[in-house]
Amino acid sequence: MARILVTGALGQIGSELVPALRAQFGSESVVATDIRRPSANGGLGAGPFEHLDCTSIRQVQEMVRRFDVGGIYHLASLLSAVAEEKPQAAWELNMGGLYRVLEVARQYGCALFFPSSIGAFGPTTPRQGTPQDTIQRPTTMYGVAKVASELLCDYYALRLGVDARGLRLPGLISHTAPPGGGTTDYAVDIFYQAIRYGHYTCFLRPDARLDMMYMPDAIRAMIELMAADPGRLRHRNAFNVTAMSFTPEELAAEIRRHIPEFRIDYDVDPVRQAIADSWPQSIDDGAARAEWGWAPAYDLAATTTDMLDKLGGKLNATT
Ligand code: AKB
């Protein structure tokens, strides 16, 4: 059976996607790759791990040939706040990496999953009920690369026959690997600080409303989209998906239902606040629901309960 290749496997998504794919398809069927080396305890479970710089087409070709790869989840990228600090590096990795992986997918007949983001929208996009097909004029390098990537995936699907599919993911909340350098990261950090110190200083304003999703829903969405009947996919790529939409003060209130003494204050980072202000507040995921049956399982209350339970257990075990 052809194997699945995951790039950026040590990141926030990859560290939960790889074990989920291995549980479904078998450990040896999933090749985890990253430009970093895994730590001693790994975290990805049993199965192959390879060093891969996805901006090198030769390295990607060799990996696909060596492991007889049939599908690629291409996750390697810089997140929004880091991309604003290093726009040239972000273009090189986020666009350059995708272009090379798409080329290899074309040459070897691989299917490809690409994670776009709510960052693909901009200040002129309708902010409430953001439609699937709408204005996309982002003002960040992260967003510019995401829009270009969505278009490139469409081109490779329509003109070059690559089965390229993708989601516009909202902020992801998870307890396995921390995110690094995103605008929505506060919604993960807050849980670590609430459990450890009962206090969190937030870098976004109390009323900064953004779409979010708990990682188990995101992982399921990625796997379900790649398994979906292509005949039903009118969009195929860049599906809006969401599970909830909340502000920092609403998340803090939900945490307080479990930790009544929890306190939040604010030290707003103008760069990340400006990015948040340019993104939608609630997107419409009707196309994903209609075309491949998307439905989230976790709302804010269920996410908060599960995060505090799982993360509490993990942090207590390491103290
Ligand atoms: C980020 O904040 O950069 C990401 C995203 C929403 O794409 N989490």
| Whole-angstrom distance, CA of residue 129 vs CA of residue 27 | 40
The answer, yes or no, to whether residue 42 has pLDDT greater than 80, is no
Rounded mean pLDDT, 25-33? 97
| Ligand 1 atom closest to Cα of residue 117 | 7
| Whole-angstrom distance, CA of residue 10 vs CA of residue 214 | 18
Distance 67 CA to ligand 1 centre (A): 31
**Reported pTM:** 0.96
Helix (H, G, I), strand (E, B) or coil at 19: helix
Q: At what angle do helices 57-66 and 98-108 cross, to 10 degrees?
A: 40
Distance 213 CA to ligand 1 centre (A): 11
Residue 39: its pLDDT value, please?
Answer: 79
A 10 A CB-CB count for 10 gives 23
Residue 180: its pLDDT value, please?
Answer: 85
| Whole-angstrom distance, CA of residue 290 vs CA of residue 277 | 29
Considering the chain, what percentage of its residues have pLDDT values greater than 70?
Answer: 99
The answer, yes or no, to whether residue 119 has pLDDT greater than 70, is yes
The answer, yes or no, to whether residue 217 has pLDDT greater than 80, is yes
Does 278 sit in the ligand 1 pocket, CB within 6 Å? Answer: no
Mean pLDDT taken over the chain: 96
pLDDT per residue as tens digits for the range 193-211: 999 999 999 999 999 999 9
pLDDT band for position 1 (50/70/90)?
Answer: confident
Helix (H, G, I), strand (E, B) or coil at 168: strand
Considering the chain, what percentage of its residues have pLDDT values greater than 90?
Answer: 93
Q: What domains can you pick out in the chain, each with its CATH number?
A: 3-171+212-240 (3.40.50.720), 175-211+244-280+298-317 (3.90.25)
Q: Which helix (H) or strand (E) holds 142?
A: helix 141-158
Rounded mean pLDDT, 216-243? 97
Does 182 sit in the ligand 1 pocket, CB within 6 Å? Answer: yes
Residue 277: its pLDDT value, please?
Answer: 98
Does 143 sit in the ligand 1 pocket, CB within 6 Å? Answer: no
Rounded mean pLDDT, 57-73? 98
| Whole-angstrom distance, CA of residue 174 vs CA of residue 311 | 9
Nearest Cα neighbor of 302 from 217, 196, 190, 199 is 217
Mutation probe of ligand 1 site: the residue of 184, 211, 275 with most atoms within 8 A of C-beta:
184
pLDDT band for position 317 (50/70/90)?
Answer: confident
pLDDT per residue as tens digits for the range 253-288: 999 999 999 999 999 999 999 999 999 999 999 999
**Rounded to whole angstroms, what are the CA distances from 83 to 11, 181, 307?**
16, 8, 27
Is residue 129 within 8 A of residue 145, CB to CB? The reply is no
The answer, yes or no, to whether residue 41 has pLDDT greater than 70, is no
Does 115 sit in the ligand 1 pocket, CB within 6 Å? Answer: no
Mutation probe of ligand 1 site: the residue of 13, 77, 79 with most atoms within 8 A of C-beta:
79
The answer, yes or no, to whether residue 175 has pLDDT greater than 70, is yes
Does 80 sit in the ligand 1 pocket, CB within 6 Å? Answer: yes
pLDDT band for position 40 (50/70/90)?
Answer: low
The answer, yes or no, to whether residue 224 has pLDDT greater than 60, is yes
Residue 103: its pLDDT value, please?
Answer: 98
3-state secondary structure 56-122: CHHHHHHHHHHCCEEEEEECCCCCHHHHHHCHHHHHHHHHHHHHHHHHHHHHHCCEEEEEEEHHHCC
One DSSP character per residue, 187-256 reads HHHHHHHHHHHSEEEESS-TT--EEEEEHHHHHHHHHHHHHS-GGG-SS-SSEE--SEEE-HHHHHHHHH
- Going by alpha carbons, the residue nearest to atom 1 of ligand 1 is 182
Is residue 272 within 8 A of residue 81, CB to CB? The reply is yes
Determine whether 270 is exposed, middle or buried from the number of CB atoms within 10 Å of its CB (0-12, 13-18, 19+): exposed
Nearest Cα neighbor of 259 from 177, 185, 200 is 200
The residues, any chain, with a CB within 8 Å of residue 214's CB and separated by 6 or more, are 172, 173, 174, 243, 296, 298, 302, 303, 306, 307
Residue 132: both structure tokens together: 């699937």
How do beta strands 111-117 and 128-130 pair?
Answer: unpaired
